Amino acid sequence: MTHRARANRLVIVGASLAGLRAAETARKYGFQDEIVLVGAEEHLPYDRPPLSKAFLDPGDAAVPWLRTERHLTEQLGLVLKLGVPASALDPQSQTVTVGEEAIHYSAMVIATGAAARALPGAAGVRGVHTLRTLDDARAVRSALDAGARTVVIGAGFIGSEIASGARMRGLDVTIVEALDVPLSRSVGPEVGYTLAALHKREDTELRCGAVVTGITEAGGQVRSVMLDDGTELPADLVIAGIGVTPSTGWLAKSGAALHQRDGGLLCDETLWTGLPGVYAAGDVAHWPNALFDGELMRLEHWATAVEQGAAAARNAIGPRGAALSTVPYFWSVWYGQRIQFVGVPQADEVSVVSEPGSERLLALYRRGARLVGCLTVDRPGQIMKYRRMISERASWDHALRFARSARLP
Ligand SMILES: Cc1cc2nc3c(=O)[nH]c(=O)nc-3n(C[C@H](O)[C@H](O)[C@H](O)COP(=O)(O)OP(=O)(O)OC[C@H]3O[C@@H](n4cnc5c(N)ncnc54)[C@H](O)[C@@H]3O)c2cc1C
């Protein structure tokens, strides 16, 4: 094993959105020493949201690269180590192991994100996929090109986007969801039920309260999905959208504190992991969000990865101390309709403020006397107004009055 010399060096583990933003922020704030960007995938950083949206459309599919290699190496001056995962972190010697190399760091940002959970019992079966990486998306896309009968397991946002993409190509699509109402945990049951109607309107079959018991295959290719009520759904393409696991296995012996439930990295309000000089950002990190009374959050949102990547880098290279508090934000696109959510969905009350019969939904979420969340469908001009209100701790009455008086854009 070679040992790289000690130096003032920022090592960023995870070469995707949060990692890239960390590197850019470090440079922006004047960090002139070496920055090493370590990525398990061989690819340059790319954007994931388009992979379950435009990338699945028929026709040419442009890869959503985030930056060119030249930009990364020449403009940002990064040392790229792509295609080899970090396998260990030793906080005593301040080294991270990457392949045969032990790289010393003076500061580190961990941005290893999360990996999709695989469908149990389907390893190696052709036609069974998850959708997390560019390689996954390429495989799903080519199955759609071949006109696959598609079964999506899990009616979450990514599963729903894939179902929408397949359906808009005119393919037969079934979504199997174990919950009685999809997305209850992400947007609450009332709104989950309303969103489910978008699938029904497009003739995507949605089977709620159904549990997958297994798949059948012939010659190594998937043939069908079996449900607990005995139903057999024919399938050439099965996509499991059943959640993710934070990528922290490589930290097992590091002493880093991991969340008991999902193994995500526990951080304080500044995104510090508790290991000297080591901060975390993005899908991998749990942190207490002061804007919501210190509620511990691990968000799988693009905007959070950007905000946390920047904050973690600033804190890693500078004097420690700036807490990050933010209003969570994500979006999704189903059948050409844009769903946007700000805040948190756990609420005492959800009020749907919209015109009867209109699909341009606005739903507000109340906790105590405070507005804590807002979901819109096809009201892109409105959502950021509610994000601002939530960050200013606006009262529920104020938000309701505003919603009722606001004219549709
Ligand atoms: C298909 C898809 C669609 C999405 N759509 C939306 C959307 O519409 N709206 C929205 O708000 N959010 C969306 N998201 C979520 C958003 O893309 C993520 O929140 C964001 O990518 C998180 O960035 P990250 O850098 O924290 O982690 P990731 O993007 O997961 O990147 C982590 C990187 O670290 C690498 N890595 C893992 N372990 C190691 C290791 N040991 N050593 C080195 N590298 C390692 C991984 O290979 C990966 O490249 C979507 C996600 C997916 C997958």
pLDDT tens, position by position, 185-237: 899 998 999 999 999 999 999 999 999 999 999 999 999 999 999 999 999 99
* Shortest-distance Cα residue to atom 40 of ligand 1: 85
Q: Tell me how far CA of residue 14 lies from CA of 68, 161, 340, 360, in angstroms.
A: 17, 25, 27, 38
- Ligand 1 pocket residue status of 39, Cβ below 6 Å: yes
Chain centroid to CA 329: how far? 11
Instruction: Give pLDDT < 50 ranges for the chain.
Output: 2-6, 409
Does 118-242 match 336-405 in CATH topology? no
Of 3.50.50.60, 3.30.1360.70, 3.30.465.10, 3.30.420.40, the CATH number of 118-242 is: 3.50.50.60
User: Looking at residue 19, what is its pLDDT?
Assistant: 98
User: Looking at residue 381, what is its pLDDT?
Assistant: 87
Q: In terms of CATH architecture, what is 336-405?
A: 2-Layer Sandwich (3.30)
* Shortest-distance Cα residue to atom 3 of ligand 1: 49
Taking the centre of ligand 1 as the mean of its atom positions, its distance from the CA of residue 283, in whole angstroms, is 7
User: Looking at residue 356, what is its pLDDT?
Assistant: 61
Taking the centre of ligand 1 as the mean of its atom positions, its distance from the CA of residue 282, in whole angstroms, is 8
User: Looking at residue 405, what is its pLDDT?
Assistant: 86
- Ligand 1 pocket residue status of 134, Cβ below 6 Å: no
Q: What are phi and psi for residue 315, nearest 5 degrees?
A: -70, -35
Give the DSSP H or E segment for 402. Answer: helix 396-405
Contact 21, 14 (CB under 8 A): no
User: Looking at residue 6, what is its pLDDT?
Assistant: 44
- What is the CATH T-level fold of the domain 2-115+245-317, as seen in this structure? FAD/NAD(P)-binding domain (3.50.50)
Give the DSSP H or E segment for 164. Answer: helix 157-168
Map out the domains of the chain as residue ranges. 2-115+245-317, 118-242, 336-405
- Predicted TM-score (pTM) of the model is 0.96
Distance, in Å, from the CA atom of 267 to the CA atom of 293, rounded to the nearest integer, reads 16
